[in-house]
Amino acid sequence: MSIYDDMLSEDNYLTKYDLKRNPFDKISAESMTAEEIVKMHVVTAADKKIASNLSTILNSGSATVALIGEYGSGKSIRASSIKETLMRKDAFVFYTKLPGGTPGIVTYALFESVCVPIMNNDKASDELRDFAKKLWEKYRDINSIPESKFKPYEAGEDLAKIFKKIGDQDILSGLIIDEFEEIIEASIQREIRKTFEILREYFSHAVGIPGHITVICSTPNAWASLKEIHPAVATRVHVEIEFKPVTDKIAIEIIRKRLTAFRPEKPDSLEPFDEEVISKVNKKYATGNPRMLLLVLRSILDVAAQNDVKKIGLDAINDGVEFAREKLKDAQSERIKQILTPKMRDILEVIISEKNGGPIVGTALSDELGMDQGNLSRYLNQMAALNFLNKNRDGRIVSFEIKPELRLIFAEELGLTADAEQE
């Protein structure tokens, strides 16, 4: 016997529910195979809109689509399935997560994600591979080019030319840009504008390319920022599909399909949950967010199994919810530590300790922080794009408020826990 034997025996703790593993472990699109996504996905109205646009592409049309939703709403899973659908039709599909930063960094990422795969694709014609190589040689050292010589419109036009060449060879194509909100992290708004100019030119020239689709996945805050900073880009996106919070009915179906995928001998069974439990978790703790629903139920199932609870009722939820909160708080705290700049910390400290978390109008903070209004506005918009703040517009007045679920986490990270508790 080894020191790990007892620990390994704990892996069987879910057998009381006829489960070999927790069916809510796989949450992100990256952790799931195409087959698993098909088994566990619940079709919604958004999927029907996506399918309609894919039908247009398959019939030699073109489309630009924005998938807009909060983190965990299912954008990346849809993007992954769009890619899978097109690849099964022998399409050339390219997937990228654009980094925040200078226009040069973004341009490099775009051309790397498209040119390099074409150069290494044996199915691509020599003409197409040579063209991709020529553009890659042009843009691979883009970061060393002086800013004055950088031409955003030319980069956007060149990117579209690749897909035009693909279309000329009667091959379907797609460009999927995931986590679009990361672009908003660029430190200077002027740089963000240049990046958006690249995309504007790309869209202008990509529209009408037969059999080509561009898909952008974005949070609502980042998409709103795009419309404010460079509305000409947003107007070139023909279809906006927004992911609303899921209803209790959809939430129940999500859980039913998850359990069936991991327990096929009991199709359609919700055991050890029931509809009332799932509805409560969806409304009160997940607030209609599919990823949050799975995260919370994963913890509830783990804790219930460890406590030998056979049927999870409303009274058995609390321990699992607290366990989930601690795990989520740790994950959020780690993300906050990595992203927050010193200036962001200063702004959040004032909002928490002096403004009770908001809502606040940016102009009211500029004097207290010793910042000009333009600079402060940029930081507030940045934190809204990062999903740290809620942003609300009432006519010409824009206000910001720390997301309620993040207030305590920010207070602890900034050393303001005592103040937060007193409030």
Tell me: the pLDDT tens digits for 147-205?
777 888 999 999 999 999 999 999 999 999 998 888 875 546 677 888 889 999 999 99
Dist. CA 109–CA 198, nearest whole Å: 12
Q: Which CATH architecture has domain 45-242?
A: 3-Layer(aba) Sandwich (3.40)
Domain boundaries, given as residue ranges, for the chain: 22-26+246-334, 45-242, 340-422
DSSP letters, 190-243, are HHHHHHHHHHHHHHHHHTT-TTEEEEEEE-HHHHHHHHHH-HHHHTT--EEEE-
pLDDT for 73-97, tens place per residue?
999 999 999 999 999 999 999 999 8
Distance CA 385, CA 289 (A): 18
Please answer whether residues 305 and 342 qualify as being in contact, where contact means their C-beta atoms are separated by less than 8 angstroms. no
Assign 81 to helix, strand or coil.
helix
What is the fold of 340-422? Arc Repressor Mutant, subunit A (1.10.10)
**Measured distance CA(195)–CA(12) in Å, rounded:** 51
Q: Look at 118-122, 125-129, 353-357, 418-422 and tell me which has the smallest mean pLDDT.
A: 418-422
pLDDT higher at 283 or 320: 283
Only one residue has tokens 């913890």, namely: 299
Kindly report, residue by residue over 111-143, the tens digit of the pLDDT: 999 999 999 999 999 999 999 999 999 999 887
Across the range 13-41, mean pLDDT stands at: 86
**Which CATH number applies to 22-26+246-334?**
1.10.8
What's the confidence (pLDDT) of residue 267? 87
Contact of 154 with 103, CB cutoff 8 Å: no
SS3 289: coil
Domains 45-242 and 340-422 share a fold: no
Q: How many helices (H) and strands (E) would you count in the chain?
A: 19, 8
